[in-house]
Structure 1
């Protein structure tokens, strides 16, 4: 009996063996899909829309991909590849992880749709594995269980996606028409004098605190 489990897109040929000579490569298809998602969001990405962007029929894309899910996986790995080459800070592992985290944040700012697909288990491709491997290399000097390192890397990605999402969607807060006297602790907080901004921005403070809490005794 043969194994019916479908092979990941990474393990399949770039195109089917049948049909005419292709006019486009798999990379062309993925680049067109990423451009559509960057411009109009993930919902704008369909096999038909990508084919139209390439000036071909939707049916031709199935010579390269079996489904839209394959396309989403390839888009995810294509975007994550932008994190390479990996930066190295002049300080220790914490400084380097912070720099890597900032690169993740910038990546999600460039590709807002990525935060909606990056956690798909089928989307863990070569670029994602390379990123994870590099983070483990940076954390090699840290004396802690490897599970804590896995958690720290995953949480760093979570912080980057959270900050990118907040920047893109957070509306201005207004208390107009609300009787704040009903909320004494909130009123007291707003009545406190302004304090100087900390030397570190919120992203840095959050990520440093998270890494320290997870990785150091």
Structure 2
């Protein structure tokens, strides 16, 4: 997760696809406008919905059908509002995505203080993130673009920085560790979700197994053949994630 981004604002017509940062013409969100300046109440009749309700509806939609179906028009229909009335709360889809990410980050509540064993605590953080992303399968893709940390995300970041205090790392290095860990979990969960889809297709899984066996037996890939002949390890998603995570965190250099 990057902690800085452009601060240009976008107003106007609806964005149907998630913008991609880093490309010419990419849309930006002003973090001060989004997080530090609450929406001014309108005059006249009080609206029957709120930014919180709009965000919750978008999250429910993404959880059920995927991020690609989340458009301003679809969310407006979910809350029973006109599309134009949503723009004062979320002027475009990128802003809505920022709100969605921070909304679900509120689930990452940690009540226990750090134990002092930063490696163990960091592994706990990673397992929390994995469970969180599995509940919201759209989240790894959403985190692949630069996000502005909102209040819920900052609260979780504050905990992780406290976990890393015993390492003696400077502030920039601690932020890098948090970004590295989040990127690892997001990438692993994305792969995990894809593999689960493959496992629901026995024919495809069997075909992949036969293919790798044939490649290993052709004599051109001795290293692969040796690797595939090694004793198997537990292949449950949880066990696999834990092995990968242990290699990552146990190998972190704090010098």
How high is the TM-score relative to the length of structure 1? 0.84
Residue among 26, 31, 46 paired with 2:71: 46
Question: Which residue in 2 is equivalent to 1:183?
Answer: 221
Offset from partner CA, 1:48-79 (integer Å, 9 cap, x none): 10111112221221232211221111001001
Distance 1:61 1:214 in 2: 45
Q: Deviation digits for residues 102-144 of structure 1, max 9, x if unmatched?
A: 0000111111111122244343211121111111111111223
- 1:174 alignment partner, one of 202, 209, 234: 209
Q: How does 1:135-150 map to 2 (within 5 A)?
A: 135-150=160-175
Q: Tell me which of 48, 54, 58 is aligned to 2:83.
A: 58
1:208 and 2:246 are equivalent in the alignment: yes
Q: Aligned partners of 1:13 and 1:161: how far apart in 2?
A: 30
Give ranges in structure 1 of 5+ residues lacking alignment.
none
Equivalenced residues, count: 213
Structure 2 contact 123–249 (Cα < 8 Å) conserved = no
Alignment of 1:33-182 (within 5 A): 33-87=58-112, 92-170=117-195, 171=198, 172=205, 173-176=208-211, 178-179=214-215, 180-181=217-218, 182=220
CA contact (8 A) 2:73 2:83 kept: yes
**Deviation for aligned residue 1:15:** 5.1
**C-alpha distance in 2, partners of 1:118/1:215?**
25
Tell me if structure 2 keeps the 8 A contact 1:163–1:203. Answer: yes
Deviation at 1:150, TM superposition (A): 1.9
For structure 2, the residue ranges without an aligned partner over 5 or more in a row are 1-6, 10-29, 199-204
Q: Deviations over 1:9-52 (max 9, x none)?
A: 11232355345311011111001000010111111111110111
Q: Distance in 2 between matches of 1:26 and 1:191?
A: 55
User: How large is the RMSD of aligned CA atoms in angstroms?
Assistant: 2.8
